[in-house]
Amino acid sequence: MGADQSQILESLTDRNYVTFMINGLKYMVDPSKDKITAGSRLVDFIRDHANLKGTKYMCREGGCGACTVTVKTRNPFTGQEIIRGINSCLVPVFACDGWEIMTVEFLGNQKEGYHPLQQRFVVCHGTQCGFCTPGWIMNFYSMMESKKQFTVADIHDRIDGNICRCTGFRPILDAVKSFAVDASEELKRKCGDSRSCESCPLRAKSPAALTSANVVEAEFEQLELPSSIHLNISSNSQWVKAVDIKTLFMALTKFQNYGLKYRIVGGNTGMGVFKNEGPYQAYVELMSIPALTKIDSLDSSIIFGGGVTITQAIETLEKASSVSGFEYCKHVCKHWKRVANISVRNAGTLAGNLMLKHDHKEFQSDIFLVLETIGAMLTIASSPSLQNMWTVEDFLNMNMQGKIIYSVHLPALKNMTFRSFKISRRYQNAHAYVNAGFLMQIDPMNMYVKMRPRIVLGGISPSFVHASMTEEYLVGKTLNPQIMQGAVQMLEREVNPNMDPMEGDSMYRKKLSQALFYKVMLEILDGQVSPRMKSGSTDLEHGPSYGKQMYGTDKSEWPMYEPVAKLEAPFQCSGEAEYTNDIGPLPGELHGAVVHARFANCMLKGVDPSAALGMAGVVAWIDHSNIPAMNNYMYSYGNDEDVIFVKDKIRFAGEVIGMILAESRELAYKAVSMVEVYYQNREKPILDIPSALEKAEKEGKLSECIVTIRKPTEDPIKDAPNNISGEFHTGGQYHFHMETQVAICVPKEGCMDVYSATQTASFTQFAVANCLGVSCSSINVYVRRLGGGFGGKISRSNHIASMCAVAANTLRRPVRLSLDLEGNMGLVGGRSPYLYKYQAGFDDTGKIMNINIELVNDCGSSQNEPTITIAEWAIQNVYAANSSWGFTTKMVRTNLPPNTYCRSPGYPKSLGFMECVMEHVAAHLKKDPMEVRMVNLLKKGDTMFPDTSQKLEEDNLVPILMQDLERFMPIKGLSTI
């Protein structure tokens, strides 16, 4: 960027800094003085500049909620105060101008006392590892501040954006439900009544401290009123905050004239979906423009400014749904509440979501789908005075350079039926396999289709929008079973989903589109449909969840066995609990970022880090050549070599090639993208068990895969009146610890301090000492607590600590290495996939007489942590076995990350397998599966398996549990499956 370009907008702007408040303290950020770039995120500013470590992060995509903070702003058009929870990992620091931000530290702490919400989390046992807890608390605090009275249903609407991996959602929900206006008396009693927490053993925050928000409010009022900003950022980029349409278009025009690639910034939530876009040389932030946040409700339409957030749109449409012509808005709200999650909807705008669809046609936008279905119109502005109306579909093919979505117009729809659907992996916080919208005008007297229907389908292919042939077919028809059948056949012909390994099977998506159309038709035909078929037209609604934990305790023995709150829970709820990455920066500290292999089963030809090393602030490149001793972080733990850095052979995509060291985390990750990696001798990777067995057989190495052989004494096929055979597959599972792998290594006098998020400190100590070639006594390992582990930090933490230690040893400076979610998932592995092949013989009652099983464990690229032995011991489940049971166990290597232990390793796979066998037997005999299970139950004195020398010495409790369940089921409306 030329020197003259730094003056691009000098005459158009009022100041060259941004200002905002965090917990009542004012921060002023000047890019000419502070090391803040356009890519700097609020979460990092909170943690590294404001030094408030209670706010955590994991995904940095707006999906986990660990980074949630409360934000207070004002609507630019109405001036109304808005309080909302947002994902601080998605918000650029420069977009926070004029904001009041509150983190978990604002609520309470050990010194000042705790907020009632924090107290309820403690008393209701709402924490375990505690890493996610601050995010949960700030999410619900935002709700409590913005909505003084709320119900249990309101609480359930707020949980879609926060993840807890270990505690379970029941105690978390109980803590918050106790504040609801319709809370049960039992919940209120857990910590005093709904108005106070005086009976709580935790020290409450004083009333004066609780009202400190009033002081913050006064200081908030003193923040400067919105004014235009122009920032010349040190990374040779421009940032403009526009507060009116004129300034916005002047900025866009000048950026285009200078040939600068620019990004329009609204809620910035799209970075969580398409995070590798750019680089950009200019940014224009427009959330302070009144015209873009205006909402008009007219008799014929509802008009939203392009900058209206999805949450604001939903709130408006909920009110409008009671107005004639806008009854359909009830269904729109239901659908849009499934867009991403509450924190994303609080920040993301209608125009921003539509632009994602515009730039990425494959994006299954629920906003686009609904707007196109109802025939909404968009006002596209190309200058302050030039605006044109376009259909939503036509907008997709427009050149939007220099243009913005000025407003969105939703029409009134009278005597029309609108329905929309979203079929996805999860109810919320997941994109759709298929989303569908239907709009039809039908004469209720004769079922005549009066106008061309609108049938919009998403998730079919990037270019598919309307089922045009089916729409045309239905025009002027009278609906009846024959016409419906013809329409379904028409859909069959024109809906041809593309092949995409990341989406559902193409045939599944085709049938799904037909099923959703059929569902709508059943509802429209209503009276003409038999009661048996009519149930297909209704949605299965899931009300607020409810759970209860009961346990007995003898009060006469208290304080022994008295239930008490966890001692560290208050510190977890206030953000005072320190995790590894919360340790403050050390003098001279460097940040590491890992370069992962993009391909599997190939050779590393070479690496060129010169472009990265040429960036200001990038210090070094570390790889296998920097390791003083052994390049193996699993030495002596297993027989396979697990390298710290790849030297030649790349086993799996995600394996570590090297590491960049820089003065900041942001810079290190930016530099990683500049490292050139060259590959050679690429071969097809082995990614599943059948492929691995086939390869071993071709190479004559199948016998090497066998671990154990136990032959059955009888042939399952010949020696039983009935027999079956089959296969049972189970996939892998990511550990999903909220805290990703992290380590800090500090060279000291004759030793090294290692701060590691590890489940086995001694193993980490040995791994670091081994790679550095020093004694274990010179390695000091510190671990205070983990943000979840579940087996993923038993050995995998050694890898991170070893990389970090090699870097610290090479440069003799402290080094911090914290993996991002993508790198964590690509490197760590998880629960092992399994394949079971079986032949079983059984009598006419379903009792298994003999069975022969082949178990195959996919260990990934190394076999250092197999779970096959545990799996074979779990095969018996709760069923009778004898010497006629046989099995063969095998282990195979694939080109996947090394799999490791994961909560109850081996057991769930084998338990599930045996239940599959019981279901198969029952299906063969056409019996109730529960009847087959009861016939096969293990009894006292029966032989144990696989060690047949042991006998069951106690009664099997399953029959007793089943009897209790049968007594309980009629009361709760349950059934056994």
- Of the listed ranges 18-27, 137-146, 333-342, 943-952, the one predicted with least confidence: 943-952
The pLDDT of 185-198, averaged and rounded, is: 60
Phi, psi of 132 (to 5 degrees): -85, -15
Segment 672-684 shows an average pLDDT of 97
In whole angstroms, what is the distance from residue 769 CA to residue 486 CA?
72
How much is the average pLDDT of 464-479?
96
Percent of the chain residues topping a pLDDT of 70 = 94
Q: If pLDDT is split at 50, 70 and 90, which confidence band does 15 have?
A: confident
Cis preceding linkage at 279, omega within 30: yes
Which pLDDT band, with edges at 50, 70 and 90, does 656 fall under?
very high
Q: How much is the pLDDT for 971?
A: 52
Mean pLDDT, residues 451-474: 97
- Whether residue 606 contacts residue 589, with contact meaning beta carbons closer than 8 Å, is answered with no
pLDDT at 195: 41
Whether this model's pTM surpasses 0.75: yes
Of the listed ranges 272-281, 464-473, 499-508, 957-966, the least confidently predicted one is 957-966
Q: Which two tokens stand for residue 346?
A: 């609080």
Confidence check: pLDDT of 824 > 50: yes
Q: Judge whether residue 12 has pLDDT over 70.
A: no
- pLDDT reported for residue 191: 62
- Cα distance between residue 238 and residue 280, in whole Å: 9
741, 803 Cβ separation under 8 angstroms: no
Q: Which helix (H) or strand (E) holds 827?
A: helix 821-828
User: Of 663, 659, 671, which Cα lies nearest the Cα of 802?
Assistant: 659
pLDDT given at position 496: 96
Taking residues 88-113, what's their average pLDDT?
97
* pLDDT given for residue 196 in this prediction: 40
Q: What confidence tens digit (pLDDT) does each residue in 389-424 have?
A: 999 999 999 999 999 999 999 999 999 999 999 999
Can you give the pLDDT at residue 549? 80
pLDDT confidence band for 199 (50 / 70 / 90): very low
- Between the CA of residue 176 and those of 85, 344, 968, what are the distances in Å? 16, 21, 28
Decide if 392 contacts 409 (C-beta within 8 A). Answer: no
pLDDT(203) > 80: no
- Cβ count near 829 (within 10 Å): 26
Could you give the CA distance from residue 763 to residue 745 in angstroms, rounded to a whole number? Answer: 16
- Over residues 829-854, the mean pLDDT reads 96
Report d(CA 171, CA 190) in Å as an integer.
11
Lowest mean pLDDT among 12-16, 120-124, 481-485: 12-16
Average confidence (pLDDT) over 568-575: 97
What percentage of the chain reaches a pLDDT higher than 90?
80
Question: pLDDT tens for residues 861-919?
Answer: 999 999 999 999 999 999 999 888 999 999 999 999 999 999 999 999 999 999 999 99
Burial (CB count <10 Å: 0-12, 13-18, 19+), residue 446: exposed
Does residue 679 carry a pLDDT above 90?
A: yes
Residue 646 CA to residue 678 CA, distance in Å, equals 13
Q: What angle do the packed helices 116-123 and 133-146 form, to 10 degrees?
A: 130
Residue 437: alpha-carbon gap to chain centroid: 26
Residue 336 in this model has a pLDDT that exceeds 50: yes
Side chain identity at residue 278, one-letter code: G
pLDDT at 193 over 50: no
- The Cα 261–Cα 714 span in angstroms is 74
Give 123-180 as a 3 state SS string.
Answer: HCCCCCCCCCHHHHHHHHHHHHHHCCCCCHHHHHCCCCCCCCCCCCHHHHHHHHHCCC
Q: Is the pLDDT of residue 6 over 70?
A: no
- The pLDDT, as a whole number, for residue 890 is 96
pLDDT digits (tens, 9 = 90+) for 572-600: 999 999 999 999 999 999 999 999 999 99
Whether pLDDT at 625 is above 90? yes
Q: How much of the chain is in helix, strand and coil states, percent to nearest 5?
A: 35, 20, 45
Number of other residues whose CB lies within 10 A of the CB of residue 300: 8
Q: Quote the tokens at residue 439.
A: 């709009």
